[in-house]
Amino acid sequence: MSSAAVLAVVEHRRGELRDISQELLTVGRELADAIEGDLHVAVISGDVETFAERLNRNGVDAIHAVESGEEFDHGIYTRAVEALHAELEPTALLMPNSVNGLDYAPAVAERLDLPLVTDATDLAYDEGITVTREMYGSKVETTVEVDDDRFAVTVRGGEWPAAEGSGDASIETIDLDVEEGDFGVRVQGYEEVAGGDVDITDADVLVSVGRGIGEEENLELIWELADALDATVSASRPIVDSGWLPKNRQVGQSGAVVTPDVYIAIGISGAVQHVAGMKGAETIVAVNVDPNAPIFDLADYGVVGDLFEVIPALIEEFK
């Protein structure tokens, strides 16, 4: 097999492809073009045929479906990626910088003796890979150059657009001689965390509330707006730290990375740690009394005003 190739490993959870999967196809294609190689995609465990069909395969050269296990399993992923890497000998191995990706990526890198750079927010290839990543709570951007012929990178969600368009990439099904639990680690089941009623990473429209709301009882206003817009409520960290909303609704560096169509930031200043979680939103709307609030630097639409006047007017309008 030619070594001018990129291998991207997509991700699914509980029967659904995760957004990072289509994003990996975009970054994978860009990289494959840069190295003048093919883009191979690995779909591992679960209903692989359906997942493979659901991928926007425009620009994908081949899909390798590994039929073993149902949900994520450390051993199966590690062994499957290792086997595919041995067969394809790709220049670049791309994996999601997700909880699962960060579980198996280091193991794969160690077994294959590959340099691994995690949490890429940008990639450039010129006879070697240069990976951009953020440090110190997104205050500093660094670039890491890897000179090795082959390398592995985990890619941050929300940094690349989702791949679009169908393609006719062939799907090759692979049987793997490994079972769930073979590596001594086994997923026993899934438990929703307290308040885990929603997954804000799946929402199309997010109404996000920050410290500007002042008091817990004022959150009623935010729920009302979310209702009127059929949106999901999320928050900045101080709201979660105060115990006013559960952790699964927190957006940001230590919360979730979200990429909704519309993100409405209400009484949120736009600290770097918050922005790290929402800058990939397609349209950003900000409501803030302070015209110099950093959130306005990235907002597509901004309302400088008191949220206690602006939000009731918006609710009235949307109702």
Kindly list the residues in this chain that would bind ligand FAD in the complex (CB under 6 A). Answer: 137, 210-212, 236-238, 250-255, 267-269, 271, 273-274, 277, 287-290, 293, 306-308
Structure tokens belonging to residue 224 = 């009302």
Q: Which is nearer to ligand FAD, 42 or 284 (CB)?
A: 284
Nearer to ligand FAD, 69 or 212 (CB): 212
**Closest of 264, 280, 197 to residue 229, by C-alpha:** 264
Q: How far is the CB of 241 from ligand FAD (least distance, A)?
A: 9
The smaller minimum CB distance to ligand FAD, of residues 95 and 310, is found at 310
**Closest distance of CB 227 from ligand FAD, Å:** 20
Burial 9-19 (b: 16+ CB within 10 A, else e): bbbbeeeebbb
Report which of 124, 143, 139, 100 is spatially closest to residue 276, judged by C-alpha positions.
Answer: 139
Judged by CB, which is closer to ligand FAD: 65, or 221? 221
Q: Which of 73, 52, 74, 47 is CA-nearest to residue 63? A: 52
Task: Give min distance, CB of 312 to ligand FAD, in A.
Answer: 12
Please say which residue, 68 or 248, places its beta carbon nearer to ligand FAD: 248
CB of 38 to ligand FAD, least distance (A): 38
Dist. CA 205–CA 260, nearest whole Å = 6
CB of 256 to ligand FAD, least distance (A): 8
Let me know: does 131 contact 120? Beta carbons within 8 Å.
yes
Q: Which is nearer to ligand FAD, 54 or 247 (CB)?
A: 247
Strand 122-125 with 16-17, pairing: unpaired
* CA 279-40-277 angle, 5° bins: 15
- When the beta carbons of 158 and 252 are compared against ligand FAD, the nearer one is 252
Q: Could you give the CA distance from residue 206 to residue 261 in angstroms, rounded to a whole number?
A: 8
Contact 236, 254 (CB under 8 A): no
Among candidates 83, 26, 91, which has minimal Cα distance to 55?
A: 26
Which distant-in-sequence residues (6+ apart) come within 8 Å of 234 by Cβ?
200, 203, 206, 207, 208, 209, 249, 250, 251, 256, 258
Nearest distance from C-beta of residue 86 to ligand FAD, angstroms: 39
Smallest gap, in angstroms, from Cβ of residue 2 to ligand FAD? 42
Q: Which is nearer to ligand FAD, 88 or 251 (CB)?
A: 251
- Answer for the pair 284, 300: CB distance below 8 angstroms, yes or no: yes
Question: What is d(CA 301, CA 2) in angstroms, rounded to the nearest whole number?
Answer: 48
Of 28 and 255, which has the nearer Cβ to ligand FAD? 255
Kindly state the smallest distance separating residue 296's Cβ from ligand FAD, in Å.
10
Residue 152 CB, nearest distance to ligand FAD (Å)? 26
Q: Which residue has the tokens 């951009």?
A: 132
